[in-house]
């Protein structure tokens, strides 16, 4: 009976991923329809067409839709994870065991699968490493093995509210509604003051539960999951901070010139 329940649970999880992938495909087509009917006729797009090549323009069109899709997915994940975030903050020693809603982690996996489907020709080595290691290896291991509200707590900060702010700003920038400098400044703020502290807090809570024997999970698997999540947040926080510094410096130099 236990094996049967586990199999049913995993079938449901895979169904979540396929269903969400389908919703993302539909959202992509609706955004493309909006771009065709509205954005492609705007002065902003006309100006963009005159400054870059056709190949680069097509890449930007795909990037813009991807940012929009990412924003919507982050919003959904934020909503689905919020209750567990509050629970873990007030009950940290009950964070690693018990039932939780898996649809948020399934959404994160489906989102990155759709990114590969949609943008594989434009993905660089960092994108592939991030997707294979953090999104798929960590994501599927967590979905099929790990239980506990801590999953949604960490996912809230990895692919929820902070990411939603970032990709909303990227979307607005691509539609000409926000400057690149402001987008980068907000991204640095949310990475260093929201995303990183949230993920690292989740990792510390997981570690405390581990050393106090509150978790029934395999210690090696749990340690690796926490390590990969911590590494993810530190690496990308460093990356966006350095990028913002370069951009700000170049902006100031060009202003002086």
Q: Measuring CA to CA, how many Å separate 23 from each of 16, 17, 144, 190?
A: 10, 10, 22, 27
Under DSSP, the state recorded for 179 is -
Task: Tell me the pTM.
Answer: 0.91
Would you write out the chain's pLDDT as a tens digit for each of its 257 residues? 477 777 888 888 999 999 999 999 999 999 999 999 999 989 888 888 888 888 888 888 999 999 999 999 999 999 999 999 999 999 999 998 777 889 999 999 999 999 999 998 889 999 999 999 889 999 999 888 887 899 999 999 999 999 999 999 999 999 999 999 999 999 999 999 999 999 999 999 999 988 887 777 788 888 889 999 999 999 999 999 999 998 888 876 666 54
Kindly give, in sequence order, each residue whose CB lies less than 8 Å from that of residue 192, ignoring residues fewer than 6 positions away.
237, 241
Yes or no: say if 229 and 206 are a contact pair by the CB < 8 Å rule. no
In 146-179, which residue ranges form alpha helices assigned H by DSSP?
A: 150-159, 161-174
Q: Which of 96, 147, 95, 133 is nearest to 231 (CA)?
A: 133
Yes or no: say if 215 and 96 are a contact pair by the CB < 8 Å rule. yes
The count of other CB atoms within 10 Å of the CB of residue 2 is 6
């Amino acid at each position: 009976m236990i094996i049967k329940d586990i199999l049913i649970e995993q079938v449901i999880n895979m169904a979540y991923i396929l269903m969400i992938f389908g919703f993302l495909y539909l959202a992509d087509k609706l955004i493309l329809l909006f771009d065709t009917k509205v954005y492609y006729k705007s002065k902003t797009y006309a100006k963009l067409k005159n400054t870059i090549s056709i190949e680069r323009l097509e890449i930007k069109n795909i990037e813009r839709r991807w940012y929009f899709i990412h924003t919507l997915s982050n919003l959904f994940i934020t909503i689905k994870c919020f209750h567990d975030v509050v629970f873990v903050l007030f009950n940290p020693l009950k964070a690693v065991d018990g039932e939780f809603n898996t649809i948020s982690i399934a959404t994160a996996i489906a989102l990155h699968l759709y990114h590969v489907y949609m943008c594989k020709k434009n993905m660089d080595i960092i994108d592939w490493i991030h997707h294979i290691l953090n999104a798929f290896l960590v994501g599927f291991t967590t979905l099929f093995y790990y239980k506990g509200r801590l999953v949604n707590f960490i996912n809230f900060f990895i692919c929820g509210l902070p990411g939603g702010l970032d990709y909303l700003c990227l979307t607005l920038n691509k539609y000409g509604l926000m400057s690149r400098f402001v987008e980068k400044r907000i991204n640095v703020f949310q990475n260093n003051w929201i995303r990183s502290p949230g993920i690292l807090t989740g990792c510390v809570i997981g570690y405390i539960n581990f050393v106090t024997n509150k978790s029934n999970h395999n210690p090696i698997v749990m340690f690796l999951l926490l390590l990969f999540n911590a590494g993810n947040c530190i690496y990308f926080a460093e990356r966006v901070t350095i990028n913002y510094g370069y951009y700000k410096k170049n902006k100031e130099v060009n202003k002086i010139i």
